[in-house]
Amino acid sequence: MIDQIHEDKNVCIDCQTRLGNILQTDNFTSEEIHLLDKPKRMIIFTVPVKMDSGEVKTFNAYRVQYSDARGPGKGGVRFHPEVEEEEVKNLAFLMALKCALVDVPFGGAKGGVEVDPKKLSKGELERLSRSFMREIHPFIGEQVDIPAPDVNTNAEVMGWMVDEYAKIQGKFVPGIITGKPLSLGGSKGRTEATALGGAYVLRTYLERTGKTVEGSTVAIQGFGNVGAHIARILHEWGAKIVAVSDSKQALYNEEGFDIPALLAAADSGRLSNDTGAEVISNDELITLEVDVLIPAAISHQINKHNVNDIKTKLILEMANDPVTTASDAILEEKQITVIPDILANAGGVMVSYFEWVQNSSNDYWTVEKVYSELETRMVAAVNSVMDDCEAEGYCNLRKQSYLLSVKRIIEAERARGRLS
């Protein structure tokens, strides 16, 4: 079967690798296994942009709609120089699992443009965003596929995109995109949603295993929106944040950082070392002996080069796909628990769902209602996985999360008549 999969260019090889052992050991049929081997739709295109110099450059772009079994596609759009088809395909697959796991009525999708946005002026960034929407608009819709922010995109970019879509359609359709500015139908609480959802997941897991957030030592790799917000939240809950990092440096303070002061001194996500903390490398941060390690940067930060040196006993995956598949097996051998990304960072898609609901009903929620609904649903998702683990008498949270997600997707596919 593996040889046949490799011959099919549409198959997501990493997705199949991730699911292979799980599906084959739980009596899934070959028909069910093949259903998840490849995305439903892949759109590969180029985005032309007029640069400030007057030159027109074209950038490679992708949108992968992996599954629509449980509802319209849902997933972010990233601007990054290393975006490529296989990465987007894998991330769309993970989004499908994530939406199923936290039980929101979406499928999974992802998009990206191969570009370094740091090299663009603000005008070029806006023209790129609008051009992306002009190219992709025939393939998306509020009941088809709903983009959102991702790496190097934000509410401002989503605002440009939803405005461009309105120009094309001749009417404003706020539900076409989530993560928008509040003035364009965005949801309160969306900015901190991913971090807050992760904090709820961590607290619930610790409570179920007889531990607490208060007093726990934490190292956080990545100090962007997610890393900075989860540092603030966990600090407020009594955790000791002993290490943080951005793309340039990592800082270590054995006594724990004053997170509000660190945030106040940060410049656009760049850490300032006015505190006199010890400067260490990102690899040193990842291998610190702490209670909780939180990778909140980019993919594959725990890999063959550092996995054998990991000393924590608990990893909370706030980044997408931060642990390579090969490293996963080593972490399991070392009895290191991984709370997987499809659970840990699902707060973002949860509040995106809330935003979509608000756009559909034209009834906008208070931030207190957003937080309350987020906590209820994230706690329920953790408990579902933990309950299944306890029933099995063994708990690999990633495997159990994948299994629960896949069963829900297959159930929807069967209900649609796509499976015999």
pLDDT tens per residue across span 191-239: 999 999 999 999 999 999 999 999 999 999 999 889 999 999 999 999 9
10 Å Cβ neighbour count for 302?
26
Q: What is the pLDDT of residue 3?
A: 45
Span 91-99, average pLDDT: 94
60 three-state secondary structure: strand
d(Cα 360, Cα 20) in Å, to the nearest integer?
38
The residue that leads in pLDDT, 155 or 37, is 155
The residue that leads in pLDDT, 22 or 218, is 218
Q: Give tens-digit pLDDT for 137-165.
A: 999 999 999 999 998 999 999 999 999 99
* CA neighbours closer than 13 Å in the CB half-sphere of residue 413: 22
Q: Which CATH architecture has domain 38-182?
A: 3-Layer(aba) Sandwich (3.40)
Q: Give tens-digit pLDDT for 311-363.
A: 999 999 999 889 988 899 899 999 999 999 999 999 999 999 999 999 999 99
Contact between 110 and 64 (Cβ < 8 Å): yes
Any idea what the Cα angle at residue 200 is, between residues 196 and 203, rounded to 5°? 135
The residue that leads in pLDDT, 208 or 20, is 208
| Max mean pLDDT range (18-22, 35-39, 107-111, 295-299) | 107-111
Q: Model pTM?
A: 0.92
Q: What percent of the chain has pLDDT over 90?
A: 77
Pairing type for strands 145-149 and 217-221 reads: unpaired
What's 187-420's CATH class? alpha beta
Span 390-401, average pLDDT: 83
Span 94-103, average pLDDT: 95
Closest to 377 measured CA to CA, from 339, 351, 411: 351
* Confidence at 25, pLDDT banded by 50, 70, 90: low
Span 22-36, average pLDDT: 74
d(Cα 20, Cα 320) in Å, to the nearest integer?
20
Contact between 248 and 224 (Cβ < 8 Å): no
Out of 74, 89, 110, 399, which one is annotated catalytic? 110
* CA neighbours closer than 13 Å in the CB half-sphere of residue 167: 10
10 Å Cβ neighbour count for 400?
24
Amino acid at 15: C
Looking at the chain, the domain(s) classified CATH 3.40.50.10860 span 38-182
pLDDT at residue 245 is higher than 80: yes
110 is annotated as an active-site residue: yes
* Confidence at 4, pLDDT banded by 50, 70, 90: very low
Looking at the chain, the domain(s) classified CATH 3.40.50.720 span 187-420
